[in-house]
Amino acid sequence: MNLEEDKRKVIEKLIREGYIKSKRVIDALLKVPREEFIPEHLKKYAYVDTPLEIGYGQTISAIHMVGLMSELLDLKPGMKVLEVGTGCGYHAAVTAEIVGKDGLVVSIERIPELAERAERTLRKLGYDNVIVVVGDGTLGYEPLAPYDRIYVTAAGPKIPEPLIKQLKDGGKLLMPVGRYLQKLILAEKRGDQVIIKDCGPVAFVPLIGKEGFQ
Ligand code: SAM
């Protein structure tokens, strides 16, 4: 098992297929050890580009999806980002690499056991620019708002209003919308207006919460 080589190969494939192109996203994916975020018995599959089970009926996102979402959000160093759905913390770590030490990732997870485990992994790997919060992310996280970017890693019926409110003017939000047929939606806030773009079909676990599915 040569995980470093597997990682390099999958990232080269994602570049060839057009999912990722910016140096910032490529470097972040090369840096974060995905194997640290998944259960022991699945570690050999760490660089297979597919979601993997992480317990509690949840999954770690596929590598191409984390890369694509990072590109669509146009993440930059120094940004303050809200992630809804921490899961195992892998996607938060990739975002933390991109926003760097001057940036901040606030990540909300509704399942306390997953949040605790993600926090432990992120601390062990030295991601001090990530704050993990237990709660209903459909309500956002008001104490640290507003955010430059917000992304949701579970599919909801619509974009939750509190998330639009907590986005800075000029900020971008990315989330899967729909139950069975889902679309990845990019929303840009410009004053009172929200400009919506459909970024194509996706498949995510459901967003459960007050402004999500019940
Ligand atoms: N970001 C993760 C990663 O690194 O691969 C993947 C997250 S998984 C696809 C989606 C997560 O969203 C699950 O852990 C689920 O418990 C969480 N979730 C669902 N509804 C939520 C809500 N209302 N607030 C916070 N987390 C939620």
Q: 88 CB less than 6 Å from ligand 1?
A: yes
Q: 212 CB less than 6 Å from ligand 1?
A: yes
Q: 176 CB less than 6 Å from ligand 1?
A: no
The closest-lying atom of ligand 1 relative to the alpha carbon of residue 91 is 4
Q: What is the DSSP secondary-structure string of the chain? A: --HHHHHHHHHHHHHHTTS---HHHHHHHHHS-GGGGS-GGGGGGTTSSS-EEEETTEEEPPHHHHHHHHHHHT--TT-EEEEE--TTSHHHHHHHHHH-TTSEEEEEES-HHHHHHHHHHHHHTT-TTEEEEES-GGG--GGG--EEEEEESSBBSS--HHHHHTEEEEEEEEEEE-SSSEEEEEEEEETTEEEEEEEEEE---B-BSTTSB-
The closest-lying atom of ligand 1 relative to the alpha carbon of residue 86 is 1
List, in order of start, the domains of the chain with CATH numbers. 3-202 (3.40.50.150)
Which residue lies with its CA nearest to atom 24 of ligand 1? 137
Per-residue pLDDT at 1: 75
Please give the distance, rounded to the nearest whole angstrom, from the Cα atom of residue 108 to the centre of ligand 1.
8
pLDDT digits (tens, 9 = 90+) for 139-187: 999 999 999 999 999 999 999 999 999 999 999 999 999 999 999 999 9
Please give the distance, rounded to the nearest whole angstrom, from the Cα atom of residue 83 to the centre of ligand 1.
9
Question: Mean pLDDT, the chain, as a whole number?
Answer: 97
- Kindly state the percentage of the chain with pLDDT values over 90: 100
Q: 58 CB less than 6 Å from ligand 1?
A: yes
Q: 138 CB less than 6 Å from ligand 1?
A: yes
Annotated active-site residue 22? The verdict is: no
pLDDT digits (tens, 9 = 90+) for 23-61: 999 999 999 999 999 999 999 999 999 999 999 999 999
